[in-house]
Chain A
Amino acid sequence: MNEVLRQVRTLFVSLRLTVVLLSLSIVLIFWATLDQVHLGVWAVQQKFFHSFLVFVKVGDLRFPVYPGGYLIGGLLLVNLVSAHVYRFKLSWRKCGIWLTHAGLILLLVGEIVSGLVQQDFQMRLDEGETKNYSESIRTNELAIIDATDPKFDDVVAIPESMLAKGLVVQNPKLPFRVVPKLYYPNSDLQMRSQAPGAPASLATQGIGPMVAVTPLEVTYAEDARNWPTVFVELVGPDGSLGTWLASAIPLMPQKFDFAGRSWKLVMRPQRHYQPYSVTLEKFSHDIYPGTDIAKNFSSKIRLNMPDGVSTREVLIYMNNPLRYSGLTYYQASFDGEHTTILEVVRNPSWLVPYISCSAIALGLVIQFMIHLVAFAGKRRRP
């Protein structure tokens, strides 16, 4: 065998590599924990764990300075698999280690998969309100709504990512093209009367000309969100209809008529529709008597099934979510006495950690019992 290949093989099956990678992962996790104070948990995950390299910003340049979660995890996976393949020996004495490591492989792979497929939404409900959709926590969409029929809205939703890239949208449902002119990922709005020095607006229609926009830094803080604003020009077959401003900051609804139909233009959190709907019957917030310590939050909801007839009453409270049709509804937060905020998560691989962690735990127990029995035997025969 080629000498270089032999060295590579020796490296990849060595315990030395394992120890080095474990040390690297400890430093990575520690650093990420400290950085959370500034970045918030979501940005930290992107920067440290869901990445191959950790970049540090110096001025305007980004330098890769440290291996990221994918790289360390991937190398650990390679190390683990190749060590087992290379030293393969079926013996009862090793079965604990086998089980532990198999579980670990499943856990690592499962985490990568769930990082890719997991989706989070929120559902905010006032008492008595019914919704058949949940909303994205981080991304928004530009909804262009055909509101001609008062009973029914026909919606074309353009994701924020397309607006950010400035992609022109032509859709068979729309008698015009949508041309994003300018996009701010985070912004603040003021009435123009209160900001006399503001530069002229790009907008010519709707509320836009009356509003001054200030772009803001993108925030990653846990308790803050970004408020994107976009200027879009609508271009019909016979030329421009004008430029509108749309912002995630709630504005008066902007309406206009074109091609014999009434349209509404609004930017809102991206929606995820379900074939069933949820009604909040009652939200309760209990505290311990004589204190302001929260004792329990609970939302009594009615699930209106897709058949439109049958319903189900469910109480969602702390540590007791509702799992239905691949989505899980958790009591996340509240706003005032009568508004609940449910977190809605789709995670098809939620079962993987349960299986893999049971395998690892069982493997560890077996392995250490083997050690313990051997040790006790040795002591009995001095």
Chain B
Amino acid sequence: MRRSLPVFVVAVAAVCVLAGFFEKPEGQSDAVTAFGRLPVLAEGRIKPLDSVARSTLLVIQGRQRVVVSDKPGADEITPDEWLLDVLFVPEKADTYPVFVVDNTDLLLLIGKDDESLAIHYNGVIANLLATSDVLPTRRRRMSFNEIAPYFSQIEAQEKLAEPVEAQTRTQFQSAVVQLYGNLSSYLRLKRALVPEGSKDFLTELLHLQESLADGVAAVRAKEAGQPHDEAKAAALIAEGQKFLQMGESTDLLAIPPDEGDTDLNAWHNAGHALLESFGNGYVNTSVLAYAGMSYAWRQDEPGSFAHIVQLYGSSLERRYEKQVHKARVETIFNAAEPFYSCMLVYLAAFFFAALSWLKWPETSRLSAWGLVALGWAVATLGIATRMWLEGRPPVTNLYSSALFIGWGSVALCLVLEATYKNAIGSAAAGVIGFITLMIAHHLSLAGDTLEMMRAVLDSNFWLATHVVVVTTGYAATFLSGMLAVIYILRGVFTRSLDKATADSLARMVYGIVCFATLFSFVGTTLGGIWADQSWGRFWGWDPKENGAMIIVIWNALILHARWGGLVRQRGLMCLAVFGNIVTSWSWFGTNMLGIGLHSYGFTEAAFWWLSAFVASQLLLIGVANLPLDKWRSFRPRSPGA
């Protein structure tokens, strides 16, 4: 029982996690899944249409699933199905509420207020939940059709707000810039494969194919000033203008180059690919294939849709074996959401670790440890997949730094737990793993997380050394802070912090601070060397550099204070908690200043969270400084207890 229960717990969790990799998205046909796997070039890299759909949805509505209307009990569709509707049945997609609008002034601009958006519940319980903010009290998401009448007002406000620097914009300005951007990216998708207003693009293209030779001859003759068929020439020129406009209004490069061309610059959007028809005398087959899918999807003919997707998919596979393979893996990765299941596993691990301090110490402790190991293995797999997809070291942007800080901290926790066997490592792992993945989730709302590296940062060697090492330093500093938080909370609020546990926590914090000092110093130094190689100065007092240097100095200060006997156990813990503030400042605060070479990861709502986090840590330090007889663990037990 003592041995088998932990194994059982971990096995159940593992099955749940693995199921994600094999399960297909609910209610989605195989043909739609195959469509989602088709590779396109967007934002500088080849990715599956599924990723285009998901990252667009995350940006415009903050979640991936789409509810087709506001009515209670309305159908849900998958990201791939949403994308199909946007591309091929836009009049239907225009009715889906997918644009998040929260700002009150912006709502007024589009003719809404709290009253018109209020959600009315039937039943006492639902109403009660709504008033206590558990259920939403008003609609947050609008459809394109609801917003479209106000487009010119939004555009005018955006023009006013856009020149203002991102950091100094008011909430209304940020909201209107955001909404305008969301509407534009939606429109760019809508016009990516089919021109605006076209109901049967396939027939139009087939007709073009037939009349192409005559039309081109007519236009040539016209240009040469010779007799020609005016109607044919005019029709062809009109087509050309339509394609030109189509090409100008999208940034989705869905049309691969001809066979054998591996240059990414040779990918085209549908409009530009069609313009080439006039030169080479035939309509691009990829555009035709997409037009065919459009026809079948519009006519609701699942059989022929599946057939066309399959044909086009296998023709791509012959030509771009590697890219198609990568796109397939990325689609599976998207649907499995490994970091989401990882988050739940960490949460369960924390639950078991905390339980072990109260009841069933050994069983709960082993379960927690097993779950942490499982979560860490899944995170490792997830990070490794991202690295393989991107061909980059693990940390390339703020999002991946959150993943990596969590991963590194949890790895250290596994070592701590293997050494001390008191569930503290697992508890810390559960909390840090959960929080960092939560942060990562919110950062992912900014768009594609596998984004391209800006020129300055485009160096795998330095990304692999400087960034990885300094991020490990962050992870270790956070971990020492987390251990100190456990010390304080357990000591003040429970009776569970006995002398042995307190001493081992103090040793853990000390050890991790040593580790953090080494890694943050080496990481910062490597950054200096990179800077010397790239910009000719070892140290430039850039905000991010300063932040990293403060972490190094802070860790050195903790060590010196301890060696000098200036602090004892409790003081050490307070200093370690303050390390959390120092690290969070360097990680996020410096980006909020919006200056310097490193300010690539701008975040807006993060400011509020950072302040709240700092306040909570200061509060903890305050709590830790309560007189010792207020600490439940250190209070002499009342006689007879």
Contacts and interface: CB of A to CB of B under 8 A. Distances in A.
Interface of A: 14-16, 18-19, 22-23, 25-26, 29-30, 32-34, 36-37, 41, 44-45, 49, 111, 114, 118, 120, 222, 288-291, 293-297, 318-321, 328, 330, 332, 343, 345, 347, 350, 353-354, 357, 360-361, 364-365, 368, 371-372, 375, 379
B535 A332 contact: yes
Contacts of B560: 15, 18-19, 22
Given A15-B564, A22-B557, A26-B553, A318 B456 contact: yes
Contacts of A371: 511, 514
Given A30-B546, A328-B536, 19 more contacts: A14-B564, A15-B563, A19-B566, A23-B557, A25-B553, A26-B557, A33-B546, A37-B595, A114-B538, A290-B43, A290-B251, A293-B44, A293-B454, A295-B44, A318-B534, A319-B459, A357-B529, A361-B525, A364-B517
B367 interface: no
Nearest to A22: B557
Interface string B514-552: 110110011001001110111111111111001101100
B297 interface: no
Nearest to A115: B539
Interface in B336-391: none
Interface in B428-474: 451-452, 454-456, 458-459, 462
B550 A30 contact: yes
Which of B264, B534, B538: most chain A Cβ within 10 A?
Answer: B538
Contacts of A321: 533-534, 536
Contact of B540 (A14, A30, A41, A330): A41
Given A32-B541, A296-B458, A371-B514, A345 B536 contact: yes
A49 B546 CA distance: 12
A99 B590 CA distance: 32
A363 B394 CA distance: 28
Contacts of A328: 536
Interface residues of B, number: 64
Contacts of A288: 43-45, 264, 452
A37 B543 CA distance: 10
Nearest to B518: A364
Contact of A289 (B265, B518, B539, B542): B265
Nearest to B561: A19
B413 interface: no
Nearest to B462: A319
B557 A289 contact: no
Nearest to A328: B536
Contacts of A375: 507, 511
Given A19-B557, A44-B541, A353 B525 contact: yes
A318 B452 contact: no
Nearest to A379: B419
Nearest to B264: A289
B149 interface: no
B530 A368 contact: no
Interface in B229-264: 251-253, 264
Given A41-B541, A295-B452, A368-B515, A319 B534 contact: yes
Nearest to A294: B455
30 contacts: A15-B560, A18-B564, A19-B557, A19-B561, A29-B549, A29-B553, A33-B543, A34-B593, A36-B596, A49-B541, A111-B539, A289-B264, A289-B267, A290-B41, A290-B42, A291-B44, A294-B454, A294-B455, A295-B452, A319-B462, A319-B533, A321-B534, A321-B536, A353-B525, A353-B532, A353-B538, A360-B521, A371-B511, A375-B511, A379-B419
A350 B531 CA distance: 12
A289 B272 CA distance: 14
B110 interface: no
Determine which residue in B459, B521, B554, B557 has the highest number of CB atoms from chain A within 10 A of its CB, and name it. B557
Given A15-B563, A19-B560, A22-B557, A290 B44 contact: yes
Contacts of A295: 44, 452, 455, 458
B564 A361 contact: no
B253 A290 contact: yes
A295 B451 CA distance: 12
A233 B67 CA distance: 79
Nearest to A357: B525
Given A19-B557, A33-B543, A288-B452, A361 B521 contact: yes
B556 interface: yes
A32 B546 contact: yes
A354 B553 contact: no
Contacts of A350: 532, 538
A307 B199 CA distance: 72
Interface in B481-538: 507, 511, 514-515, 517-518, 521-522, 525, 528-530, 532-538
Given A36-B543, A319-B459, A343 B538 contact: no
B448 to A, nearest CB: 11
Nearest to B253: A290
A120 B537 CA distance: 10
Contacts of A294: 454-455
Interface string B28-70: 0000000000000111110000000000000000000000000
A155 B596 CA distance: 38
Task: List 3 A-B pairs, minimum CB-CB distance, nearest first.
Answer: A15-B564, A288-B44, A345-B536
A60 to B, nearest CB: 28
B611 to A, nearest CB: 15
A370 to B, nearest CB: 11
A375 B45 CA distance: 49
Contacts of B515: 368
B566 A29 contact: no
B535 A330 contact: yes
A318 B44 contact: no
Contact of A368 (B43, B267, B518, B542): B518
A320 B540 CA distance: 18
Given A318-B534, A332-B535, A16 B564 contact: yes
